[in-house]
Chains A and B, each alone.
Chain A
Amino acid sequence: MAKPEVATARPADPAKPAAPAPGEKPAATPAAAKPAATAAKPPAKPEGPKPEPWDSELVRSLRSQYGSGIREASTYVGQKYLVVDSSIVYEILLRMRNDQLFDYCVDITSVHYPKREAQFDIIYILYSFKHNERVRIKTQIKDGETLRSAVGIWETANWLEREVFDMFGISFDGHPDLKRILLPDGWKGYPLRKDYPILQQDQEWVQINLGIESGQ
């Protein structure tokens, strides 16, 4: 394609808001643009989409059954998520699988918030082939707490939970084969926790198994 055309097309886009007043002096536009840019900055920070409450039949029925166990039901940029109490998360997952036909468990992962009392977010991303819909189920647990394994609901949870265990040190009760998956079995530490610096390694393991002083 011809390059000059793009060159003309490109400035045309930022000029769009100024287009209604082309008769104005060009000197006015940079002067006007500058304060506008600086003025736009402070509100730009808190700006951004806010989670909106998610109201549906499913949420209402879950709320009526579990009450305050359903802590939050929201959508964020069109993506639905539920925050539920860790004691009922297994029941909710089972219900999502059997009643709501969320038959595909896309991913299980975790996020570490060291400053919070319940340090870990566990996130289950579910998808329903029938409804072509995605939902995230989130729960929060403290360090040392365990969750019931979802392997009985979705086989795919096996490796996904092993990875969460490997990277965050979160145990899942009833998991058939809970051991490290990406790191070697004898490794110490859980790398994706926030208190694990990026350069940290299990030096002892490296020295014994690789026969070198340091992996760095």
Chain B
Amino acid sequence: MKDLETDYRHAKPGQSGPGAVDYLDLDTKDQTFLDTTELVLNMGPQHPSTHGVLRVILKLDGEKVLGTECVIGYLHRGVEKIAENRTYAMFNPYVDRMDYVAAVSNGLGYCEAVEKLQNVEAPPRAQYIRVILTELCRIASHQVWLGTHALDIGALTPLFYCFRDREEILKIFEKYCGARLTTHAFRIGGCIYETYDGFEQDCLKFCDAFLPKLDEYEELLTTNRIWVRRTKGVGILNPEDCIALGVTGPVLRAAGVKWDLRKAQPYECYKNFDFEIPTGVNGDTYDRYLVRIEEMRQSVRIIRQAVEGLPQGPIMAKIPKVLKPPVGEVYHSIEAPKGELGYFIVSDGSLQPYRVRVRPPSFVNLQALDKMVRGLLVADVVAVIGTLDIVLGEVDR
């Protein structure tokens, strides 16, 4: 792993040197060039760079953002209400529709939460398969983020590169469970599908092919002057604000907080694997980019270890056909590609959950948008929405 701290590109905010943003100096003065009234500009909900149906009301002074207000809920489908009217197993496919670019992670979180409620544990082989697919999914999610984020900022090429390579992951998903996007790959108690012939080879082949491609992405962006100018020092969020706002995932790590649920409270078999938690220094858009790129490398490391150590054995724990978890309530969370994804499930001992609460990372992270864009320019709002990596299906549920 590259040592981010000694990287010359990490100039301290406000410092001159490579990557320092000078136009900010103008904006920090509390005066305007013209005696302008506050301009209210509506952005979205149909806007290509809001990654879905997010509406942001911008209050502007010229090009400077004075404040924002997010209007969300356009994609609200009442997932939590649906859960109360379905059995535990029937609700499983619905969770894939929340964060639809990382459906596998959603399913993992839900299955684990119900397993905890039912007091069962998936067998080791199932856990390894789950880890492999979840890490593949993390890479796929980060690829969608990188492609669209770069596109928003004006770099068209990474989009094609990312989607081309993501295709290989989707092919593995398709071969494993028949679906590419909303996979419903896991079941409560383990996995329902055994790995197909050649699964391991496919995963390893992907890992081998992907690392050079990742270097290719970096070649396009990491030292690209336009990219650096558009991302460096933009949307800074310091660790204190991150924690106060409940921001998790790569955004928190880019601010320098070394916190990842896979290490802090290991679930599945993550404690068997050797991997690093990449962190940033400045907590700006550029650091978040570096952190996510490094996370993809770490995911490749985990996939390789998991494929090599894939044990034999059953893939499904002994669970009753009709699932009636004992009365109780459980909160379980996993490190989804976007941050902490939690499920709070209350069981009344019946067939259907009494209450399912989803703690979506995108929803909570989006709340930080206002703090991040204040004082920036309108064009930076697009960069900040991209760097937060939100999926509106998960924000609105």
Contact = CB atoms under 8 A, between A and B. Distances in A.
Contacts of A155: 241, 244-246, 367
A123 B325 CA distance: 21
B312 A6 contact: yes
Contacts of A123: 344
A62 interface: no
Interface residues of B, number: 57
A43 to B, nearest CB: 12
B364 A159 contact: yes
B81 A106 contact: no
B375 to A, nearest CB: 18
Interface residues of A toward B: which range? 35 or more
A125 B358 CA distance: 12
B320 to A, nearest CB: 8
A106 B367 contact: no
A175 interface: no
A133 B247 CA distance: 17
B194 A6 contact: yes
Interface in A170-216: 180-184, 191-192, 196, 198
A14 to B, nearest CB: 7
A104 B194 CA distance: 39
A181 B312 contact: no
Contacts of A109: 344, 357, 359
Nearest to B264: A132
Contacts of A129: 243, 257, 259
Interface string B262-288: 001100000000000000000000000
Given A1-B310, A104-B246, A198-B82, A48 B326 contact: yes
A79 B340 CA distance: 17
A5 interface: yes
B200 interface: yes
A107 B359 contact: yes
A77 B116 contact: yes
Given A9-B313, A76-B329, A111-B354, A125 B259 contact: no
B246 A154 contact: yes
B218 interface: no
A107 B200 CA distance: 38
A132 B265 CA distance: 8
A13 B200 contact: no
A47 interface: yes
A156 interface: yes
A13 B81 CA distance: 38
12 contacts: A1-B310, A6-B312, A9-B312, A77-B116, A77-B119, A79-B330, A105-B246, A106-B246, A111-B354, A159-B367, A160-B364, A191-B81
Contacts of B354: 111
B357 A48 contact: no
Interface string B357-392: 101000110010000000000000000000000000
B85 interface: yes
Contacts of A103: 243-244
B73 A182 contact: yes
Contacts of A192: 80-81, 355
A196 B84 CA distance: 12
